[in-house]
């Protein structure tokens, strides 16, 4: 359940708060939301029925927008990545370069269709924009969106001409098909 890496957007961040006395979840949401800066909103407060949030999050779903990369080139690169058993990339850390195998963490990866919300001038349809939707398992060390992009460079020499835009779309447990299950679904059901 790590925070989104620096430089990426997120539509799926969670925070776990422990309180001394039982409080009304909606009152807590309003109080927390009131003290946060504009644009950072508390959408929902759910009372836990047991367990911790990190125990409920196994993976994240990411949307990576690659302006200047055609969907066809991205599809080829994704096919090569998914066909590989191992794809090692280097990451620069505060302790120096570290090599990590990205492939075991990538649960699924599909190329989506460009849409008007693709993150660049929607009126300029002459510019290709590959959209990669991927589910990445939480591992140690964590595989980040830029590691997935590095893996595409390794397997298919795919180098976007401009930086990609990465957005975490969801977090949760993996289901049998490699999709994500909402980590708060059982708690919501218990409230009803």
Answer yes or no: is pLDDT of 169 > 90.
yes
Lowest mean pLDDT among 11-25, 61-75, 81-95, 155-169: 11-25
From the candidate CATH numbers 1.10.3470, 2.60.40, 3.30.70, 2.40.50, the one assigned to the domain spanning 56-174:
3.30.70
Q: What's the rounded mean pLDDT across residues 93-117?
A: 86
Answer yes or no: is pLDDT of 122 > 50.
no
The Cα-based distances of 134 to 5, 50, 60, 98 in angstroms read: 16, 29, 8, 23
Torsion sign over Cα 33, 13, 133, 64 = positive
* Phi (first) and psi of residue 110, to 5 degrees: -135, 150
pLDDT at 130: 94
Q: What's the rounded mean pLDDT across residues 80-106?
A: 94
pLDDT at 4: 73
Query: Which residue in 114, 109, 172, 95 sits closest to 145, CA to CA?
Result: 109
pLDDT at 12: 84
Calpha distance 72→61 (Å, rounded): 22
Q: Two tokens at 151?
A: 């893996």
Residue ranges of the domains in the chain? 9-54+183-191, 56-174
Question: How confident is the model over 27-39, as pLDDT tens digits?
Answer: 999 999 999 999 8
């Amino acid at each position: 359940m790590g925070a989104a890496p620096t430089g990426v957007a997120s539509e799926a961040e969670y925070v776990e708060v422990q309180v001394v006395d039982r409080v009304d979840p909606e009152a807590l949401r309003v109080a927390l939301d009131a003290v946060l800066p504009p644009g950072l909103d508390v959408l929902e407060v759910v009372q836990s029925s047991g367990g911790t949030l990190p125990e409920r999050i196994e993976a994240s779903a990411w949307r990576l927008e690659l302006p200047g990369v055609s969907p066809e080139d991205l599809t080829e690169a994704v096919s090569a990545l998914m066909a590989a058993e191992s794809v090692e990339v280097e990451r620069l850390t505060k302790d120096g370069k570290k090599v990590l195998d990205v492939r075991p963490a990538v649960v699924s990866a599909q190329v989506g269709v460009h849409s008007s919300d693709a993150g660049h001038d929607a009126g300029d349809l002459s510019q290709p924009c590959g959209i990669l939707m991927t589910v990445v398992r939480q591992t140690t060390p964590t595989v980040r969106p830029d590691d997935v992009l590095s893996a595409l460079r390794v397997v298919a020499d795919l180098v976007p001409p401009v930086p990609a835009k990465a957005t975490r779309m969801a977090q949760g447990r993996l289901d049998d098909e490699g999709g994500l299950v909402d980590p708060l679904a059982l708690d919501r059901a218990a409230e009803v």
